[in-house]
Each structure stands twice: as structure tokens, then as C-alpha cells.
Structure 1
Amino acid sequence: MKQMLTTKSLDAMPPATTKRYEVRDQKVNGLHVRVSTTGAKVFYTLVRPNGARRRIKIGPYPVVSLADARRRAMEIARDVELGEFDKIPDVPVERAPSLGEAIPQFIELYAKPRNKDWKRTESVLHKFDGLKDRPIDQIKRQDVTRVLDDIIDNGTPTRANRALSAIKKLMNWYVMRGDIETSPVALLRPPAREVARDRVLNADEIRTIWHHSDVEGYPFGPFLKLLMMTGQRRAEVSDMRWSELNLDEGVWELPASRVKNARLHIVPLPPQAVDILRSLHRFLDSDFVFTTTGRSAISGFGRLKERIAATLPENTQDWRFHDFRRTASTGMAKIGVAPHVIDAVTNHKSGVVSGVGATYNRYTYLNEKREALELWASDLMKIVNS
């Protein structure tokens, strides 16, 4: 298809239905735009240096304007005519990055700014390291499927689902950037069926883990106790800062930058939690509550889980740290806390306070949340001391 390209016509071009299509510019010979199924538009130009046909990528629209694309296409055509094309090192000849190049770029430019759990995304993407030397536009569905099959064979089917989700995001991001035209994994479905977890710790397990916390000591011991007592997410508790705490008022203010759903969250602290926090020593010039270095929050939760598992009966059902959160929610429900208050305590998106209201009514349900957490803390102490 050939037409006089304009900004208006570029903006109006619909996404491709099944396969990308091209529209050639009537004004500048060789210049054309490719439109992918995602709607991404990328400028290219065709030239024949030394008689060999070459397609050269100019860049994605609208990052590269139509005027800039025409100017660059004419510069390349001039260099070809003058025999200087191969002497210019910065001509962006079309080339997709290898997966080994793509992963760190994707993590740095996309995952880190958007995903608080980017380290887990980075880790799971390295499951595809066997393909790291392959240009991403040459990776095929069969290549990805083989990696997923190996993950499943190792006994971690849900990990295969996470790996597929991560590689899909990476590929889609490169499609949107115009570095590749289509995602090779777009049609792949999660290889494993997932069942929502409903694991809740029983009284004996709660008691055993609480007493193990005393053996652990600082920093993991008090971390475990606050994890069980507050019902907040593992990363939110482990990365707790002193600057977020007002122990005199019994308030923990989690900024939006540290919360999964990116909205400020106020956690009223029951007296038992305040007592635990007051008992902790503080690293000099460090804002981290739980730390071994003063420079970063605690890590090594896999080893912590192994130490806890060694204290539990051998036939104990599989558990995760996230189960503490579910246990707290279930415990509050059993003692009569209303569902919308539990949602407010745990900061679920299904909660009733959201959007602008969450910004201007930061302390909405503060009293109800305080009462709920104090009731749960008291019930927890009864379990621990029984």
C-alpha cells in the first residue's frame, strides 16, 4: 500500500488483524511504516548499497516524527548514492537484541519503575538463559515451550506459569517499542492449572512458629511476630522503616511507593506490636527496622522457612509466608470483624476506599482497623499462651 503519509493518517492507522502490514510513503522513496497487531508503528527505509537490498530501521512513531523519519531516510539514501553508507557507523541497521541483552534492558526500563517485585521477574526470566544468545525475533514458541516443560518436570508447575507471564511481558514490551514486529509467545497459554490457595495455619502451627521466633531473635524473630500480628505483606513488613512509624500514636504509615496496589496505607498498631518495636535496637544512621547491615532490609526468607519447617511436624501441610496474611484475615473474620474492615486492614483493592478517596481520606476506617487488629492480637496471644 502506498500513500502520502501525514501525521493524521499515521494516527488513524488501525492495528493489523492477523499479520503486520506496511504503508509506503509517496513523498520519500523507500520510506515506509510497519503496523503490528498491537498497533505499534515503526519507520523503515529500503536502500540498495552495492546492489544489495537492505531494510533499515529508523525508529518507532511517534517517538520519531514523520518529518524526522523523512529526513533520516533521505540522509541514508544520499549516503548510499555517494558510496558512503558503509562508512557511517551509526546507521541503525535493523537488528533485534538477543534475549541476554533484552532481559537487563527490560528490567531496568520497564520492570523496575512499575513492579515492586521486579527481582522475582528478573529471577524467573533467567529460566530462559539457554536462549540468551538468540535474537528475540528468532525465538519460537517451541523454544519457550521446551523451557516451560523443563520447569514443570522439576516439580514447579506454577513457576512455569510465572515464567510464561514474564517472557510475555518482555516480548510485548519490545513489540510496543518497535524492536520486533510480533511476539512469538502471544498465543501460548499457561501450562499449569492453578488452584487458589486457602491454607490457614492452625493453632499448633501458630504457637510453634511464635515460639520459634523467640529462638530466632533479632531480626527474623520480631519480623515473624509482626507478620502474624499485622496481616500485612511479607515485603511490607521486612522493609519496614523507622520513618514510617509513630509509636506514640501506634500508627504505621506505608507510603504508596512501598505498597503493592500503589496507594498509601495506614496500619494501626496494637499495643503488643508497639511493645515489640520499642524493644528493638536501632542501627546507627539506618532507617531499616529489620536489617543485619544497616544498608538494606533483611533477606534469606528461603533459609528462614527451612529453619521454621525443622520445628514443625514432618506431616505439616505445605505453607508459605503469605499464609500468615490469610491466617490473620481468617482469624479476624472468626472473631466477628466485618469483611470491609478486613479488606481495609489488608489493603485489598476490593476494599471500599480507593482512588481519590484513598488519598484524601487516609485515616478512613482507622478506628475500625485499630479495633480489628487489637482483637486479632489479643486472640493471637491467647493461642500462643494456651
Structure 2
Amino acid sequence: MPTGTISKRSVDAANPESKDWLLWDDDLPGFGLKVTPAGGKVYVFQYRLARPGQAERTPARRYTIGKHGKLTPDQARKRAKDLAALVAQGIDPRQQEIDAIAAEDEAARVAAEQARLEGELAFENVAATWLDHYENEKGRRPSSVRQAKLVVNNHLKPRLQGKPMPHISRSDLQPVIDAIPAKQRGMRRSVFAYASILFGWAHKRGDIPDNPLASMVKPQAPKARDRVLDDAELVFVWQASAKLTDPFGPFFRLLILTGQRRSEVAAINWAELDRSTATWTIPADRAKNDVAHIVPLSKPVIAELDQLALAEQIKAEEEKPDGKRWPKSGFALTTTGRTPISGITKAKNALDAAISEAREKQPLPAWRIHDLRRTLATGFQRMGVRFEVTEAVLNHVSGAKSGVAGIYQRHDWHDEKRAALESWAAHIEAIVSKKQKDSKVVPIRAAL
């Protein structure tokens, strides 16, 4: 191998040959210049490391310092001296470079992970993605979506915003539950349930290592409600509903007469109604238990719907409006013509105010809209309606319709449901008009 002083003159004079050749510096051992057949000139440093505790050295290793042009001979020489100093200390320059690259890679990985934690995996961003997924999942009920949004926006986000999801633990979530008054058991339970769904979803995606709510104590379930309105209270609700602006008055009266869930009544669509057969078919995707449900319509219900249809015809300036020709589509209870009614809580407050005024500033004992459904079921029991018929009217899949009985019992109780709802409507008409007493209502079992 040729040797000589590596300088600008010697480097410029080094011409390519048919294969790589090296010029070794005769002043600094290991410092050399490699010349390639294509004319490339690269500064190198060749060295051997002593084995720990032994005089024997390792095989020669070669370290590429850099290309001539980007480095001058003097700069390359200085770098070679630095490398020689490292070797003298037992440090492998190549390993040091590998370690430096690894450290840079690790720093970049940590920075990227931190950016992901503060961005993509920040609670509010994961929660927003989950809400979008939850809302668009097939068969998801609007009431569930509304509750999920309420839990996230009103309870979880105020305390967890900005926190990376993988860093949220039980100690972060328990205060969220504790902040809800103990008497609000239902809300505590709801926040726990929807938070568990959210974190479980994130766990399955691999965003978090586990679901912290899985090891938390589930809040106590709210006490089962048993509020039932008596006949006098029902009369006050019925009469006060007439003082509400439409369509909220019909909404409350339909709740009383049909016993269906508030969400199902609020979003009742003309396409679900058939005046010729006097039936309302609630599709499976709108029913709470995902089971399609046929509700026979009593005469007072048809009268309420006729009035709503009449209002539609008058608004559309139809000739000879009579209300007996129901629209084929659209929401029956709507203030916009495009969406079902909203603001039901506000309407309930207005109803309570009208009731209080009618009772000389004496409001009814606390009651909820769902109590109207329980009141119908209790009224059925009082009138002797079979339990299976009550379950069928309420679209409950429990008791007599669950388990093996539910598999083999295919009777839909249609006629019995119609008789029960007609008798209940007659009872409501009777107590409202005060034309007959409850004791004179014919028990429904006598009619079946």
C-alpha cells in the first residue's frame, strides 16, 4: 500500500485505477485516502481495539470519515486524530456513532410519542372520535347518543381535557364520579357506564393498555321508581296539556293514551301510522329493545292524530282539509317540519306550572314523564289486563316473554292489546269528562 503525507497536493494527484486503492498517511497511523475507479476520494481511519484484559487486538476496522470536497485534508486529519484518541481510550468510533444514531432515533421516537399523546391521544380527541363512531354505529338510538355526549361534554371533558388517554387512571376518574351529588345515582351510574364504553373502545384499538374502569367500583344503581299518578292527577295532567302550545299538548296526551316511551312518541312519523288499520308500527331501530312493535290506536289517539293532520293540511292550504287523510311521511310531532320535537324538559316545566296554577299553586308531588308509562301499566293491572298483554303493549321482553317461553311463544296479543288500549282510553275519557266513576269501568278481562 502506498504511503505519504496526505495533503491537498497529494490528494489532487491521486488518480483512479482499475480498482480501489488507498494512500496511507505516514505521519498519522490509520489515516488514509481511498480512491475509487470512478474517481471518488474518501478519507478513512483504520484501527484496532485492544481486547479487555488482553494484549491481543481485535481485527482491523475501518471508519469512513467523509468525502474529499466536503472535507479538506486538514479537516479530515483533525477528525482522524480525534478518532485515534478515542481508540486509545478503548472506545470504538463505529460503536459510538451507532450509539449516537440510536440515541437520535430514540429521541425522535420519544418526541413523536409525546406529540401523539398531546394530540391524537389527548382525551378530548379520542372522545370526539369515539362519539362519532358511537353515533354512527348501526341501530344506535338517538337518546343513547345524546346521553353519551352529555356524559363526555358535561362530566368527563371538564376534568380530563388535555390529558393523554394512556395516562388516565382510576385516580383521575374517581373524582369525576365523586363530583356528582350522591343523590344523583342515575347520573353517577350513567357517567360510569359511558366512560367504561369509551375507555373499553380505546383499549380494543390499542390506544391504552387497559380499561381503568374495569377495576373500579360501579356506582350504586338508582332506587327503582314506583311513582304512579292516580286518576285525579292524571286529569290535571290531561287538562293542563291543553294549555301547552302544539305539538306538546298532543305529545303528553299520546303518552298517556299509548304508554309508549317518550323517545318513541316524540319521533313518531306519519310513515309509521296507518289510519285504515288504526295501527302504529314502531320500527326496530327506534325501539329501545330493538324489537319492532305494533301499537293499536284507540279512538282518542286517532282523534289526536286527525287534529295534527288537519293542521298540516291547513298549513299547506289544501282544499277541503278534514284531517282524515294522514300525511305519508314526516314527523307528526314537530316544530320545524324537519326534525322531531325537542325541548321536552322545558315543555314538562310548562306543564307543571299549568298544573300548579289549576291546583291553586299546589304542584303535583314530584313526577317524571316515564311515570305515565308506569301509570298505564298499573291501570291495566287494576282493570284486570293479563300480565302478558301489558308486557306486549309496553314492548317489554322480560317475564313471560323471556327465555324459552320467548322462543316458543309467538302469539302477538294484537287483539288483546287493542282491547286493553281501548278500555284504557275509555277510562281516561271517563275520568276527564267526569261522566262516570272508576268503579263503573268494565274490567277488560270480561271483554276478552
Cα distance in 1, alignment partners of residues 189 and 104 from structure 2 = 42
Flag the 1:352–1:156 CA change in 2: closer, same or farther, 3 A.
closer
Equivalent in the alignment of 1:298: 341
Determine if the alignment matches structure 1 residue 50 to structure 2 residue 101. Answer: yes
Determine if the alignment matches structure 1 residue 149 to structure 2 residue 168. Answer: no
Cα distance in 1, alignment partners of residues 408 and 221 from structure 2 = 41
Equivalent in the alignment of 1:380: 428
- SS of alignment partner, residue 279 of structure 1: helix
Equivalent in the alignment of 2:45: none
Determine if the alignment matches structure 1 residue 181 to structure 2 residue 206. Answer: no
Shift of 1:385: 2.1
1:297-334 per-position Cα deviation (integer Å, ceiling 9, x unaligned): 00111111111222236463321111111111111111
Output the amino acid matched with 1:188.
M
Cα distance in 2, alignment partners of residues 359 and 53 from structure 1 = 64
Whose Rg is larger? 2
Output the amino acid matched with 1:269.
L
Cα distance in 2, alignment partners of residues 199 and 97 from structure 1 = 45
Cα distance in 1, alignment partners of residues 104 and 426 from structure 2 = 77
Cα distance in 2, alignment partners of residues 347 and 214 from structure 1 = 28
TM-score by length of 1: 0.72
- SS of alignment partner, residue 364 of structure 1: coil
Flag the 1:143–1:194 CA change in 2: closer, same or farther, 3 A.
same
Instruction: Answer yes or no: is the 8 Å Cα contact 2:334–2:341 preserved in 1.
Output: yes
Equivalent in the alignment of 1:3: none
Cα distance in 2, alignment partners of residues 332 and 365 from structure 1 = 15
- SS of alignment partner, residue 295 of structure 2: strand
Instruction: Answer yes or no: is the 8 Å Cα contact 2:228–2:378 preserved in 1.
Output: yes
Output the amino acid matched with 1:103.
A
Output the amino acid matched with 2:188.
A
Flag the 1:370–1:317 CA change in 2: closer, same or farther, 3 A.
same
Which of 399, 405, 415 does residue 367 from structure 1 map onto? Answer: 415
Cα distance in 2, alignment partners of residues 182 and 368 from structure 1 = 51
Equivalent in the alignment of 2:128: 104
Output the amino acid matched with 1:106.
W
Determine if the alignment matches structure 1 residue 220 to structure 2 residue 248. Answer: yes
Cα distance in 2, alignment partners of residues 268 and 231 from structure 1 = 11
Flag the 1:341–1:49 CA change in 2: closer, same or farther, 3 A.
farther
Cα distance in 1, alignment partners of residues 189 and 345 from structure 2 = 20
Cα distance in 1, alignment partners of residues 156 and 390 from structure 2 = 40
Cα distance in 2, alignment partners of residues 363 and 204 from structure 1 = 35
Runs (4+) of structure 1 exceeding 4 A deviation are: 91-96, 283-286, 351-355, 357-363
Q: What are the ranges of 5 or more consecutive residues in structure 2 without an aligned counterpart?
A: 1-98, 317-326, 435-448
Matches within 5 A, 1:224-263: 224-263=252-291
Flag the 1:212–1:322 CA change in 2: closer, same or farther, 3 A.
same
1:340-385 per-position Cα deviation (integer Å, ceiling 9, x unaligned): 1100000001165579x99999982110110111111111222222
Instruction: Answer yes or no: is the 8 Å Cα contact 1:264–1:362 preserved in 2.
Output: no
Equivalent in the alignment of 1:287: 330
Cα distance in 1, alignment partners of residues 284 and 195 from structure 2 = 27
Cα distance in 1, alignment partners of residues 402 and 294 from structure 2 = 13
Instruction: Answer yes or no: is the 8 Å Cα contact 2:127–2:152 preserved in 1.
Output: yes
Equivalent in the alignment of 1:134: 163
Equivalent in the alignment of 1:41: none
Shift of 1:279: 1.4
1:267-303 per-position Cα deviation (integer Å, ceiling 9, x unaligned): 0011111111111122769610000110100011111
Which of 290, 293, 306 does residue 278 from structure 1 map onto? Answer: 306
Matches within 5 A, 1:86-105: 95=117, 97-105=121-129
- SS of alignment partner, residue 195 of structure 1: coil
Shift of 1:261: 0.8
Instruction: Answer yes or no: is the 8 Å Cα contact 2:251–2:333 preserved in 1.
Output: yes
Equivalent in the alignment of 1:327: 375
- SS of alignment partner, residue 179 of structure 2: helix
Instruction: Answer yes or no: is the 8 Å Cα contact 2:352–2:363 preserved in 1.
Output: no
Equivalent in the alignment of 1:350: 398
Equivalent in the alignment of 1:120: 147
Shift of 1:118: 1.0
Flag the 1:301–1:167 CA change in 2: closer, same or farther, 3 A.
same
Instruction: Answer yes or no: is the 8 Å Cα contact 1:263–1:359 preserved in 2.
Output: no
Cα distance in 2, alignment partners of residues 210 and 93 from structure 1 = 59
Shift of 1:212: 1.1
Which of 313, 317, 324 does residue 365 from structure 2 map onto? Answer: 317
Q: Per chain length, whose mean CA-contact separation is higher, i.e. which structure has more relative contact order (CA < 8 Å, sep 6+)? A: 1
Flag the 1:54–1:209 CA change in 2: closer, same or farther, 3 A.
farther
Which of 341, 348, 351 does residue 308 from structure 1 map onto? Answer: 351
Instruction: Give RMSD over aligned pairs.
Output: 3.2
Flag the 1:322–1:245 CA change in 2: closer, same or farther, 3 A.
same
Instruction: Answer yes or no: is the 8 Å Cα contact 1:209–1:308 preserved in 2.
Output: yes
Cα distance in 2, alignment partners of residues 49 and 265 from structure 1 = 69
Instruction: Answer yes or no: is the 8 Å Cα contact 1:266–1:362 preserved in 2.
Output: no
Q: What are the ranges of 5 or more consecutive residues in structure 1 without an aligned counterpart?
A: 1-47, 56-84
Q: Percent identity?
A: 34
Cα distance in 1, alignment partners of residues 385 and 248 from structure 2 = 29
Flag the 1:363–1:298 CA change in 2: closer, same or farther, 3 A.
farther
